[in-house]
Amino acid sequence: MALTVENLSFAYPNKDILHNINFSLEEGDCLMVLGTNGAGKSTLLKCLNRVLQAQKGTVYIDGVDTRKLSGTELARNIAYVPQNHYISKTTVFDTVLLGRKPYIKWDITEKDIKIVEETLQLLNLQAYSMRYTHELSGGELQRVIIARALAQEPKVLLMDEPTSNLDLRNQIDVLNIIEEIIKTKKISAIVAMHDLNLALRYANKFLLLKKGISYRFGDTSILNPKSIKNIYNVDVAIEDYSGIPVVIPM
């Protein structure tokens, strides 16, 4: 699987948001999209998933222009976990089952049930299967929303601030799950995030946005004190702790 984004641009009627964004991913890549508030991170994810229609540029999956895919075909390739979730009075099982919608024609099949059960097991949600989603904690609900996305069997998983509003333990748990999913399911993930230290710990590729422009794209080496200063206007040092780079504001 390969995802390629070429010259992607988006603007609202009175405001330009993204300008000629370019990057590419291979199977197993985890890309962190970083930048200040308003840099265009969430907008980029929505353009990739066609929640918003980019005015310019092309997104390819395995060489196919996603504009040529139907909504159902797109949902079989790209799954989106938004920053904010609408909570309805449905069980965890039924919520995850909604992720099978792109595959259901007339009725739910044994395969759909099996995939939901396997996904619940993957995210350690078996015990919550018949619980209602509005009764869950923030960390539990986040895992359910990720499970719903994974039930789509996507090639690319888009996640907008998946650790926002989570305590430290749940942040680590969610990102560990994402890391494991990328390996076991052999998919790619694109994650919009603010926490640089978590980004450095879990990603192998980075896209730095500055006022809607791609400042830099590449591996860990691009996330250095100079680029962080340029993006966030903060002086930092980056130190190694047990093989993990740590960003320290000065």
Mean pLDDT of all residues in 96-107? 87
- For 9, 87, 161, 203, the CA distances from 236, given in Å and listed in that order, are 31, 39, 23, 20
Give the per-residue pLDDT at 89. 82
Give the per-residue pLDDT at 2. 80
The CATH number of whichever domain residue 63 belongs to comes to 3.40.50.300
CA 210 to chain centre: 19
Residue 121 within any structural domain of the chain:
no
- Average per-residue pLDDT for the chain: 91
- Range(s) of the domain holding residue 73: 1-77+156-161+187-250
Mean pLDDT of all residues in 77-92? 85
Mean pLDDT of all residues in 158-162? 92
Residue 191 within any structural domain of the chain:
yes
Give the per-residue pLDDT at 1. 60
Number of domains in the chain: 1
- Beta strand 30-34 with 244-249 is unpaired
**Tens of pLDDT, residues 208-250:** 999 889 999 999 999 999 999 999 999 999 999 888 889 999 8
Question: For a pLDDT cut of 90, what percent of the chain falls above it?
Answer: 63
Give the per-residue pLDDT at 55. 92
Highest mean pLDDT among 87-91, 134-138, 182-186, 225-229: 225-229
State the pTM of this model.
0.92
Closest CA to 152 of 100, 96, 92: 100
Give the per-residue pLDDT at 210. 93
Residue 151 within any structural domain of the chain:
no
Mean pLDDT of all residues in 59-86? 90
Residue 186 DSSP code:
T
Q: Are 160 and 187 in contact (CB under 8 A)?
A: no
Does residue 100 carry a pLDDT above 80?
Answer: yes
**Burial degree of 125 (CB within 10 A; 0-12, 13-18, 19+):** buried
Give the per-residue pLDDT at 134. 86
Residue 5 within any structural domain of the chain:
yes
Q: Are 98 and 148 in contact (CB under 8 A)?
A: yes
**Tens of pLDDT, residues 45-62:** 999 999 999 999 999 999
**Tens of pLDDT, residues 145-157:** 999 999 999 999 9
Residue 208 within any structural domain of the chain:
yes
Residue 207 within any structural domain of the chain:
yes
Residue 119 within any structural domain of the chain:
no
